[in-house]
Chain A
Amino acid sequence: MDPVIELDGLEVRFGQRVILNRLKAALTGRSIGLLGPNGAGKSTLINTLLGFHKPAAGTARIFGRDIRTHAREVRSLVGYMPENDAFIAAMSGVRFVRLMAELAGLPRAHALERAHEAFFYVGLGEVRYRALGTYSLGMKQAAKLAQAIAHGPKLLFLDEPTNGLDPPARVRMIQLIQEIRDRGDLHLLLSSHLLRDVEECCDEVLILKDGKVAAFCNLEEERRANRRFLEIETRGETNGLFLEAVEKLGCETAPGAQGRVKLIMPDGLEIRRLYQVAAEQNVQIRRLSHKRDSLEDIFLKAMEVATADGRL
């Protein structure tokens, strides 16, 4: 699959300070998470991809277009929702989004139509004629999303989209992002320091630390692999026989204290068979959980160890 974003030894410096240190990665996912602690270089990476910072070395490509030589073309493919407030206070919401769509190249009539659509889509239809300066924080975030999608980009940069949102507004924002992702018309690059946001919206994650790639993993594959790891809690007299029977099914087992057992399931074996075997051995399975290597685990590991190519 052709990479959506290809980082090819990308280095960015502010004066003598190295902000992005020779990043190398090929991101192919539909929805890419950009994780890292504050100051890791997430926003700088997005700003560099947008052409706001000039790379000191290396380059990056978006849909095969070099950001150094085809910056304008790259920007025509991208929608950008910045981290901080970004609006013209005295302008009405719909007029602002229309202006932004026109600057992206849409003819007047189309820009107006799509500005209205985008505002209804993000749930601000009723306030679209109000000045942006009077919007609440959540409304401003939604307006930023509206201007980012109004011109129909192929790739959407979302920089901390849930910043400052209260829980219901955050849920609504995540739902919107998931809806956009699931339609399949565009790719997402979601930058956040909130693991939950990335976990809920992304299928691939690039973790940055101190301007370097600390980890790069496919969350979908991780999730699939994690489905084979189980932890169960049993009650019953014949626990040993149960373990033997489970091993005969091809599982690897590791018994723990108080009837807890860790299992690695072979491919093709369904969980239902475990319950059947337990019933045959007169053992109760009181609790069963997938031993998930959560994004948090991945993130924490990445913060501790950064391998040469970033793969965990």
Chain B
Amino acid sequence: MAVYKKTYRPYEGGLTSRWTRFLTIPRYAFEDLHRSRFLTTFFIASFIYPLICALIIYVQHNVSALGLVGVQGANRLISINVTFFMSLLGWQSMLALFLAAFIGPGQVSPDLANNALSLYLARPFSRLEYVLGKLSVLVILMSLMTWVPGLLLFSLQGYLEGWSWMGDNARLASGIFFGAWIWIVVLALLALALSAWVKWKPVAGALMFGVFFVAAGFGAAVNGVERTKWGHLFNISSLIGNIWLRLFEGDAHTTNGAVFFRVAQGEELPPWCCWTVLAVLCLVCLYMLARKIRGVEVVR
């Protein structure tokens, strides 16, 4: 019907699948993010490091390419090993933290600021779908920055080195995939929870950094004063680093973790401690979201 007729008519067409409806939220969010020149530039710039890594892998396997530029034996300078992939994951994960701090606070707070949430939830659209939709905005973007390039580089290396290398180093692939997911889930939940509770976006963004860096500083202070290693329980990046070490190398680790996610020698925490603290953090975030994501706020 043409809009000039200006009348109301019921809708009789088909409906979209209820299972994929939550993806409407990331689609709108990506349209908004695309309008921000800063975020678009930042997101594109985040692929520079993986591109350099791809170049290194390529050059490693093409000695003739090195010969062209007159460099002989440079392929022995950088090894494509666990450190290489952990460093990639570390860098990309740190960039993911910045991305979450930039876009996370703008996810829930605009809906809460003017009570738009009641309109979302007055539709055949649940609170869970709302949270999933908002989470998927962060999860998709951070996945594209972390484990997707990680696995692509792993595949490139496997392709150039031979399939047997892939089989021998399958642990690296699972480490990249699961290690990145743990980080992404923690970041995404934290960003959404802060966005739901702190309506002022710059403050919510600053709090994101505060949770990581101030808490880490506090943990270091506890360690220094008490001469213990348990202060690392406040340091989320250290907890993640502990878990990554196990995911990438098992118990017999040869490195001290990824860049930005280092674990000091002799200060490793038991894995169950790290998992427990991260699980508690996620549960607290979920609780905070459950308290705020409601059709109406009840004043008892």
Contacts and interface: CB of A to CB of B under 8 A. Distances in A.
Nearest to B125: A103
Interface in B1-31: 1, 3-4, 6-16, 18, 21, 24, 28
Contacts of B123: 75-76, 100, 103-105, 151
Contacts of A183: 7-8
B258 to A, nearest CB: 37
Contacts of A80: 118-119, 122
A91 to B, nearest CB: 8
Interface string B225-253: 00000000000000000000000000000
A18 B13 CA distance: 42
Given A14-B300, A53-B298, A120-B6, A72 B126 contact: yes
Interface stretch (A106-114, A197-205, A298-306): A106-114
Interface string A147-185: 101011010000000000000000000000001100101
A15 interface: yes
Question: What bracket does the count of chain A residues touching chain B fall in?
Answer: 35 or more
A186 B124 CA distance: 18
A266 interface: no
A89 B110 contact: yes
B102 to A, nearest CB: 16
Given A14-B298, A17-B300, A87 B116 contact: yes
B26 to A, nearest CB: 12
A284 interface: no
A76 B124 contact: yes
Contacts of A84: 115
A126 B300 CA distance: 42
Nearest to B126: A72
A117 interface: yes
Contacts of B121: 50-52
Contact of B10 (A52, A73, A76, A185): A185
B296 interface: yes
A87 B113 CA distance: 9
A147 B114 CA distance: 15
Interface string A67-105: 000001101101010101111111000010001101111
Given A50-B122, A117-B1, A120-B4, A86 B15 contact: no
A116 interface: yes
Nearest to A152: B11
Contacts of A15: 300
B119 A100 contact: yes
Nearest to A140: B114
Interface string B92-129: 00000000000000000011011110111111111000
Given A52-B294, A75-B123, A78-B122, A103 B8 contact: no
B: contact size bracket? 35 or more
A204 to B, nearest CB: 21
A250 interface: no
A47 interface: yes
Contacts of A149: 8
Interface in A1-30: 14-15, 17
A196 B299 CA distance: 30
A121 B4 contact: no
A178 to B, nearest CB: 12
Given A47-B296, A105-B15, A107-B16, A125 B3 contact: yes
B217 interface: no
B295 interface: yes
B11 A86 contact: no
B136 to A, nearest CB: 14
B273 to A, nearest CB: 38
B19 to A, nearest CB: 12
A259 B299 CA distance: 58
A82 B11 contact: no
A294 to B, nearest CB: 29
B9 A103 contact: no
29 contacts: A14-B298, A50-B121, A50-B122, A52-B118, A52-B294, A52-B295, A72-B124, A75-B125, A76-B124, A78-B122, A80-B118, A82-B115, A82-B122, A86-B114, A87-B114, A87-B116, A88-B114, A89-B114, A95-B28, A99-B28, A100-B123, A104-B123, A104-B125, A105-B18, A110-B11, A110-B13, A117-B3, A117-B9, A183-B7
Interface of B: 1, 3-4, 6-16, 18, 21, 24, 28, 110-111, 113-116, 118-126, 294-296, 298-300
Top 7 A-B residue pairs of the complex, sorted by shortest distance between their CB atoms: A152-B11, A52-B295, A105-B15, A80-B122, A76-B124, A152-B10, A15-B300
Given A99-B28, A100-B120, A147-B119, 13 more contacts: A15-B300, A50-B121, A82-B119, A86-B119, A90-B110, A104-B123, A105-B21, A110-B11, A114-B11, A117-B6, A149-B8, A151-B123, A152-B9
